[in-house]
Amino acid sequence: MNTLARISALISPALLAIALTPLLLLSAARGDKFGHGPHAFSIEFVAIGDPGNQADVSGFPNPAGRVDYAYRIGKYEISIDQVRKVAALGGPGITFFDWGYNDQWPAIDVNWLEAASFVNWLNTQTNSPPAYKFDARRDFQLWQPGDPGFDPGNPYRNRLARYFLPSVDEWYKAAYYDPAADVYYDYPTGSDAFPDGLDRVNDPTFDALFYEGYESRYPHEVTNVGKLSPYGTAGQGGSVFEWEETAADLVNSAPLERRGVRGGEFSQSGVLLASTMRFGAPVFEGIGFRVASRAVPEPSAATLALLAAAGGRRLVGGRRRAST
């Protein structure tokens, strides 16, 4: 029995929920912090649980979406602001298209190797091994047997890394799977209905950011891209195309083979948002990306006990006040 189960056995579910909710909400709102001073930034993650979920057999690839472990994925695409701050902190200098308008727009024109270097920088800042192996010439290499963290099922990623690019199944599950209903939707808006896009200039209501009657020349801020997926991610449909970690052929056997690309784009058709749409692109192609992460470790027994005690005092106090 794990820590949470042992604590749950000692206190009521309602009391445990009261005790833990403020901590969990605060942690989610803050995100993972990086940098310092004027270059400080955070990445907000969404927890993707339900390990061992069913795979989808109606999308592409087929099957897709089954993940046997809990993980996290960025709620938003990586923004220009975040890329600039990493560069200012001595991290990788990433080439991106500078619109010159809004640093909260997604970073576009980032190739796969640059996105992998960005992720590696996040790992080094948290004393974690790099997710991706680059040699002294900055050429991407496969992890090999004998390397700490080698995963024979995926030689692209070091299994000890904390941050990484989402795999084909990690991306697909976060976008299309609804754990409450145990179904996959056709679009990452929590629906099988074709989403509403940008119908006109300054259209105030839209499900996803893509061309529909009005040709948008620009993206939006990463937080303003339409409806969320059932798990709570933003912009997995429309906004900008995103890199998968996974090779286009799903094998991950060659360093420079084409990688999977998904999600559609603000200036293109909404049909590209569907679960049946997956493409391949050369690693030097420039698009957008988001970051994924290992699941947050379970809170310690001492932390849970203290929170439960504090919640109990608040609950009892509330009952006493109500009875006077």
DSSP string, 101-113: S-TTSBP-SB-HH
How do the pLDDT tens digits run along the chain, 324 residues long? 444 444 444 444 444 444 444 444 444 445 999 999 999 999 999 999 999 999 999 999 999 999 999 999 999 999 999 999 999 999 998 887 887 789 999 999 999 999 999 999 999 999 999 999 999 999 999 999 999 999 999 999 999 999 999 999 999 999 999 999 999 999 999 999 999 998 787 788 899 999 887 767 789 999 999 999 999 999 999 999 999 999 999 999 999 999 999 999 999 999 999 999 999 999 999 999 999 999 987 555 545 555 455 544 443 343 333 333
Whole-number pLDDT of residue 101: 82
Q: How far is CA 229 from the centre of its chain?
A: 11
Alpha-carbon distance values, 150 to 123, 161, 162 (Å) = 16, 11, 14
Domain boundaries of the chain, sorted by first residue:
1-30+300-324, 44-290
Assess contact for 206 and 226: CB atoms under 8 A.
Answer: yes
pLDDT of 18 reads 43
pLDDT at 317: 40
3-state secondary structure at position 255:
coil
The per-residue pLDDT for 309 is 53
Q: Which two tokens stand for residue 6?
A: 């042992």
Q: How far apart are CA 155 and CA 133, in angstroms?
A: 9
Q: Are 121 and 86 in contact, with CB atoms under 8 Å apart?
A: yes
Which residue in this structure is represented by tokens 């449909």? Answer: 237
- β-sheet with 279-281: strand ranges across: 242-247, 259-262, 279-281
d(CA 125, CA 203) in angstroms, rounded, equals 40
In this prediction, residue 266 carries a pLDDT of 94
Backbone angles phi, psi at 255, to 5 degrees: -60, -40
Rounded distance between C-alpha atoms, residue 63 and residue 180, angstroms:
20
What is the distance between the alpha carbons of residues 296 and 293, in angstroms, rounded to a whole number? 8
Handedness of CA 105, 177, 111, 149 (dihedral sign): positive
Instruction: Assign domain 44-290 to its CATH superfamily.
Output: paralog of FGE (formylglycine-generating enzyme) (3.90.1580.10)
